[in-house]
Each structure stands twice: as structure tokens, then as C-alpha cells.
């Protein structure tokens, strides 16, 4: 069965066929369709409780949802089988690994990614693997999941290590992307002391490793270092407005002290550092139950439940798609910019407007796939949580000027991909 591919247009109406850049002597460009084949598809085949039907289903019904996106990359997919009647699954390894660039040793880097099984980390790992580098992932799986990078396990360029960055770790490497830390309020508030410990001790250990191996070190900081800002939009020069003893302080102050530590190592020991202040990001592989606004809205709408907005819906957020963020992180790592850099999308929405946009896109995808809705979901308003910032929008002038980076994905295009991802996860029974 053939399907016309869904085209993705950027903010200027140009079709997006690749992600990444060839900048600062580092080529990070990969084809979008190959990257999509790693996440925009059910992990396994829906079975009709009869093993003889598996081949038919694999090429038929189970493919329909995502054939529009994948266009011929099914050979690199797992062929596991799901039995809905017994709620059981028969796992298998990949048929074959996706093709990766064959780099000469002089260009191939040994890259360590802490938190590499998390939402952002797994997309970074996909990109670095496709580019042909040797990637080691460190993760303790507190919020990360093995399934996000399981398609690389066994690849000669890939290593997965279960390890908590609070404990020292020894390895030889050229670059360290330090992403390890729970990043959503339910997770980082679950054990506040552990969150601060991860931010401080984890960063201390990884900076120590960078010092010993002379590796370049990038820390994923956050827009939370600005707290509930009194300046709008926020530039990197703004020092922030943070409650040091509130429920979010374990994360906010943890990231602030991690930045302090990072620049301490730069000044005192000459470590080559990069600091990325990441603003709200969304995309496939976000944990649907981690309390983030985008995943909450999409899952509620797909399930036909009313969408919950906290407060009056007038607080604003800016959302960037995960591919834009990965472009920014890789470009920053390989640039000469050592000051903190905001990486985010400056298109601002009120939460109320965003809820309506999500509802519209979910309905569009359901209509395209011929799904019948019982009713239109409503938007309901509930009380605002403590210390929830009213306004958050990055000033990305520095990223534009020193990295040549700016977001390419529209919120609408990114949301459509994410809706299809969650829809597939529901079809395979994992949400």
C-alpha cells in the first residue's frame, strides 16, 4: 500500500528534509526521514492472536499510521509482536541497524552523553549515532527508559551503561554532553535532596572527568535559572528571580549552582565548557505522565478527556521542537561560544491558546486517520501550582549571532508529529 509522504514546512514555508548544520568544522546534518524512522512508528506489530497473520499485519494495518512519515525505512525496525488478548509481547532485536556515516578516525569523536536515555538525550544520541560517532550513554533510568535507545544496543559504535552520575565515572572521551537530571516538576520534587545532589555532585564528577581527559564539556542548564522573571524576554545577562526555598528550588538552584561550578572549572582549571539554557521543549518520547503541559494536553485530547489548564490560562510559554534543540546543542558544543546561550523558541502562546491549538491538531489527525470522536473535548480550568512562572520567553539573539542558529520548526508541525507518536504508543498498548 503506498502513501503520499507528509511534508514538513519550516517557518518560512520551505520544506524540511534534513536537520542539523555543517558548521564550525562539524557536520551534524542527517536526513529527517531516517531520523523519524527511529521514533515515529509503533515498536511492535499489533497481532490478531494468530502468528500466521503477523506478516500480513506488518505490511498492512500496523504500517498505515506511519507509512506517510517513514517512506521505506521499515527494514531498520524491530519486528516484535504484541498480543492484545493476553497483554503480552514477544520482543526481538532489530532486523538491522539504521545506516550510520562511516567517518575516518580523525573525524570520529568519542562522545559521552549523561542522561542519554531521557527525552532530550535519546534524540541527541540518535543524531550523534547517525553521524558516525562513538557514543556512550550513562543513565540510571530514574526518568529515562531503555526503550528510547534500545534500537542502538549491540551497535559497534554504541555503549549503554547503567550508572548514577552522583558516583564518579572513568572513561576516555572527546566531548561530554551532561544532560543527567530529572527535569519535570513531579520527578524533581519526588526526592528534592537527590535532585540537588544530582545537579551538584553529578556536574562535579563530569567536570572532573572533562578536566582529566581534556574533553569539551556541555551542560544542559535551563530557563528555570531565571525563576519567575521580572524581565521579558530573558537575555543571558539577566540574573533571575528565584525563590531559593520553594518547591521548585531543588531544580532551579541546583542548575544555578551547576553553572557556577562549570565556570569555576573553566577559570581555575582551564576546562573547555559550554552552557545551554534550554527553554520549554516538546517532541516524541516525552513521558506522557510527567506533568508537562504539552504531553498532558495531547494525551488528554487523544483519550477524549477534558484538557486541564492550571490558572486562568493567560500565563505564557514558548515551545521549541526537540529537533531544533538538538541542532542548537550540537552547534553550541562545536562552536567557540563559552558564554551561556539561550536555546528556545521566541514564539509566545498563552496556555489557553495552546490548549485550543492542541485540540485542533488532534482533531485534524483523527479526521485524517478516519477515527470517530464521541464528543469534542472541553478545556477546564484548575488552581495554579506554587511558584509557577507567569511569563517565560527567551531572547535568542546570542544564539542567532554567534551560532547562526534559530528555530525552524513551527509549533503546529511539531505538534502534529507528537500527536502521531502518542497515537502510535496508544495503538501498541504502551500508554
What the block records as the C-alpha cell of 297 is 494536553
Round to whole Å and give the CA distance between 24 and 412. Answer: 31
CB of 335 closer than 8 Å to CB of 369: no
Distance of alpha carbon 379 from alpha carbon 7, whole angstroms? 30
Q: Is 251 a catalytic residue?
A: yes
Find residue 138's DSSP bridge partners.
114, 161
* Cα-based distances in Å from 76 to 29, 41, 46, 145, 430: 20, 11, 18, 20, 21
Which residue, 71, 5, 40, 67, is CA-closest to 421?
40
Tally of CB atoms within 10 A around 356: 16
Distance CA 353, CA 113 (A): 35
Q: Which of 82, 177, 251, 282 is catalytic?
A: 251
What is the C-alpha separation between 146 and 130, in angstroms, rounded? 18
- Torsion angles phi and psi, residue 18, rounded to 5: -135, 160
* Whole-number Å distance between alpha carbons of 356 and 378: 9
DSSP 71: S
**Residue the block writes with cell 514558548:** 318
Residue (of 161, 72, 79, 151) closest to 115 by Cα position? 161
Q: 370 exposed, middle or buried (CB, 10 Å; 0-12, 13-18, 19+)?
A: exposed
For the record, the C-alpha cell of 32 comes out as 529527517
Find where cell 542548537 sits.
Answer: 328
User: Distance between CA 314 and CA 307 in Å, rounded?
Assistant: 15
User: Which residues have a catalytic role annotated?
Assistant: 251
Amino acid at each position: 500500500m503506498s502513501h503520499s509522504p507528509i511534508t514538513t514546512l519550516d517557518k518560512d514555508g520551505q520544506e524540511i528534509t534534513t536537520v542539523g548544520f555543517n558548521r564550525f568544522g562539524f557536520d551534524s546534518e542527517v536526513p529527517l526521514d531516517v531520523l523519524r524512522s527511529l521514533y515515529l512508528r509503533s515498536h511492535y506489530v499489533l497481532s490478531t492472536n494468530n502468528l500466521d497473520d503477523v506478516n500480513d499485519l506488518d505490511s498492512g494495518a500496523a504500517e498505515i499510521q506511519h507509512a506517510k512519515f517513514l517512506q521505506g525505512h521499515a527494514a531498520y525496525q524491530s519486528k516484535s509482536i504484541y498480543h492484545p488478548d493476553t497483554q503480552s509481547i514477544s520482543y526481538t532485536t532489530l532486523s538491522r541497524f539504521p545506516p550510520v556515516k562511516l567517518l575516518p578516525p580523525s573525524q570520529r569523536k568519542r562522545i559521552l552523553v549523561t542522561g542519554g536515555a531521557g527525552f532530550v538525550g535519546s534524540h541527541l544520541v540518535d543524531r550523534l549515532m547517525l553521524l558516525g560517532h562513538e557514543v556512550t550513554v550513562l543513565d540510571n533510568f530514574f526518568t529515562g527508559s531503555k526503550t528510547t535507545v534500545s534500537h542502538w544496543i549491540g551497535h559497534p559504535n554504541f555503549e549503554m551503561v547503567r550508572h548514577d552520575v552522583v558516583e564518579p565515572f572513568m572513561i576516555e572521551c572527546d566531548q561530554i554532553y551532561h544532560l543527567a537530571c530529572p527535569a519535570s516538576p513531579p520527578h524533581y520534587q519526588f526526592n528534592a535532596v537527590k535532585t540537588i545532589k544530582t545537579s551538584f555532585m553529578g556536574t562535579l564528577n563530569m567536570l572532573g572527568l572533562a578536566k582529566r581527559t581534556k574533553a569539551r564539556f556541555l551542560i544542559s542548564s535551563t530557563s528555570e535559572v531565571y525563576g519567575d522573571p521580572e524581565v521579558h524576554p530573558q537575555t543571558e545577562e539577566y540574573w533571575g528571580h528565584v525563590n531559593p526555598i520553594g518547591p521548585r528550588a531543588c531544580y532551579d538552584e541546583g542548575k544555578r549552582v551547576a553553572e557556577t561550578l562549570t565556570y569555576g572549572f573553566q577559570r581555575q582549571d582551564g576546562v573547555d565548557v559550554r552552557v545551554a539554557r534550554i527553554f520549554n521543549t516538546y517532541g516524541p518520547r516525552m513521558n506522557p505522565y510527567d506533568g508537562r503541559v504539552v504531553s498532558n494536553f495531547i494525551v488528554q485530547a487523544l483519550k477524549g478527556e477534558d484538557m486541564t489548564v492550571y490558572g486562568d490560562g493567560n500565563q505564557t510559554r514558548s515551545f521549541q521542537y526537540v529537533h531544533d534543540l538538538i541542532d542548537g546543542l550540537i552547534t553550541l558544543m562545536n562552536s567557540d561560544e563559552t558564554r551561556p546561550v539561550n536555546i528556545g523558541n521566541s514564539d509566545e502562546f498563552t496556555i489557553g491558546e495552546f490548549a485550543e491549538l492542541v485540540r485542533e491538531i488532534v482533531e485534524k489527525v483523527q479526521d485524517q486517520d478516519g477515527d470517530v470522536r464521541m464528543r469534542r473535548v472541553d478545556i477546564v480550568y484548575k488552581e495554579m501550582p506554587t511558584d509557577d512562572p507567569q511569563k517565560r520567553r527567551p531572547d535568542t539573539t546570542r544564539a542567532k549571532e554567534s551560532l547562526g542558529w534559530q528555530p525552524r520548526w513551527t509549533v503546529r508541525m511539531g505538534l502534529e508529529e507528537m500527536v502521531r507518536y502518542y497515537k502510535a504508543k496508544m495503538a501498541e498498548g504502551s500508554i
